[in-house]
Amino acid sequence: MQWLKLVAGLSVLAVVLWGIGAIAVFAPVVAGSTASVATVAVAAVVVAVVVVWGAKGRRWRENPYW
């Protein structure tokens, strides 16, 4: 099951790169509006909190596949 960790890592890397690309494409458009910037900032904080909360979750830590 070691290959599962590799696949999971590559998947996370792909999503991160996709997110960075999306930010690079939409940053000039979003920067034109204060409300849009605030919305993106709030969304980023929510995603970060959910990721940290999920990483500390008992179910995730006890997953035998990790």
Question: Would residue 66 count as lying in a domain?
Answer: no
pLDDT in tens, 41-51: 888 888 888 87
Question: Would residue 11 count as lying in a domain?
Answer: yes
Question: Would residue 57 count as lying in a domain?
Answer: yes
Question: Would residue 26 count as lying in a domain?
Answer: yes
Burial per residue of 1-14, b for 16 or more beta-carbon CB atoms within 10 angstroms, e otherwise: eeeeeeeeeeeeee
pLDDT in tens, 10-24: 888 888 888 888 877
Question: Would residue 19 count as lying in a domain?
Answer: yes
Domain housing 40: 2-61
Question: Would residue 23 count as lying in a domain?
Answer: yes
pLDDT in tens, 25-65: 877 776 677 777 787 888 888 888 887 777 666 666 676 66
Q: How many domains does the chain have?
A: 1
Question: Would residue 12 count as lying in a domain?
Answer: yes
